[in-house]
Amino acid sequence: MRHARRLSANLEQEDNVRRWCGQPGLTLTITNEGHHWQIGDGGFLAEWWPSSAKLVIGKKWHDGIHCHDYKQALKVIEDFYRNQRLLISIAGMKVAAALQQLIKARFIKEGWICHVTS
């Protein structure tokens, strides 16, 4: 019974989720009568099953995350997506600029990096 309630409550929020997905350029696909939600952009994929509250990012099935409602799921997705985009943009930077971006994004703290001289 709780699985059906969870599914129904989240399906009622489909429009809100679609609006949220449009802001960062993601798309939402809902299949299997609402039981399977996919949020992605072609390179990023998050899959959520509202009735079982399971969220999987990047097909890492063994690292499933328990999210009861769409707000929890979107928060986790947003964090993963933002971090992935940051790492992709940093990959093309020089080391000093990349470290500054990591500090700014709070991936690392200032002072954690020591200067190595030869």
Range of the domain at 72: 2-82
In a domain, residue 67? The reply is yes
Q: Collect contacts of 76-82 with beta carbons under 8 A, ≥24 apart.
A: 76/46, 77/39, 77/46, 78/24, 80/44, 80/46, 81/24, 81/26, 81/44, 81/46
Tens digits of residue pLDDT in 6-59: 888 889 999 999 999 998 789 999 999 999 999 999 888 999 999 999 999 999
In a domain, residue 53? The reply is yes
Q: Tell me the CATH number at 23.
A: 3.30.457
In a domain, residue 72? The reply is yes
Take residue 103 and report the two structure tokens written for it. Answer: 């500090």
- 103 — phi, psi (to 5°)? -65, -45
Counted domains in the chain: 1
Tens digits of residue pLDDT in 82-112: 877 766 666 666 666 766 777 777 665 655 5
pTM of the full predicted structure? Answer: 0.71
